[in-house]
Amino acid sequence: MIRHHPPTVRDVFPARGVARSVLLLVILGGAFIHPTIAAGETLKNVALYVIPREILFFSAQTGVWTSVRLDAGERILQRGADGNVAAVLTSQRAIGFSAVLNATHEIRVTENETLENFKVEGNLATLLTQRRAIGFSATTGKWTDVERFQPGR
């Protein structure tokens, strides 16, 4: 007499074979991740050049140059580029550039606003003056600002 056993879960779904396949895909998939992405860093997609009377921005993502003309007597106070953002602070304004959108945006900054901090990293640029906190986002391509608390005001 031949005994017939109903199939077990092991017979229908060979777990060891699937586990090996998944492990192999994970190992091979990890080999194709760029090292800077694996390290959590943002790739540098922007270039910034300041030449007489002009600022040049380049977006590696779109492959396009963008130019912003400086007014007569306008001085460069700070500049920086990293990740997807470039920013320039002049004696009259802050100019932000988004490499993602290939767009510039500017906001007025008066000379009586004393600069406390300027930082450009990854997808954002920030300015801190005695009067305002100002930020630029590569995602929106816009500056935004907020008045700071000032005692006695």
Task: Work out the mean pLDDT of the chain and round it to a whole number.
Answer: 84
pLDDT given for residue 111 in this prediction: 83
List the one residue out of 3, 101, 100 whose CA is nearest residue 43: 100
Q: How far apart are CA 117 and CA 142, in angstroms?
A: 19
Number of folded domains that form the chain: 2
Q: What is the pLDDT of residue 77?
A: 95
Whole-angstrom Cα distance, residue 108 to residue 92?
6
Q: Are residues 79 and 96 in the same domain?
A: yes
What pLDDT, on the 0 to 100 scale, is given for residue 149? Answer: 84
Q: Is residue 90 part of a domain?
A: yes
**pLDDT, tens digit, for every residue of 66-105?**
999 999 999 999 999 999 999 999 999 999 999 999 999 9
Strand 103-108 with 93-98, pairing: antiparallel
Residue 152 within a domain:
no
Taking the whole predicted model, whether its pTM rises above 0.75 is answered as no
Does 18 map to a domain? yes
Phi/psi at 145 (nearest 5 deg)?
Answer: -140, 160
Compute the distance between CA of residue 128 and CA of residue 136 in angstroms, rounded to an integer.
12
Amino acid identity for residue 6 in this structure: P
Q: Are residues 28 and 60 in the same domain?
A: no
Identify whether residues 28 and 79 lie together within a single domain: no
The answer to the question of residue 119 being in a domain is: yes
Nearest to 117 by CA among 106, 95, 105, 132: 132
Token pair for 36: 């800077």
Domain that holds residue 14: 9-38
User: Across residues 138-146, what is the average pLDDT?
Assistant: 97
pLDDT digits (tens, 9 = 90+) for 22-76: 555 555 555 554 454 445 555 889 999 999 999 999 999 999 999 999 999 999 9
The answer to whether position 153 is within a domain reads no
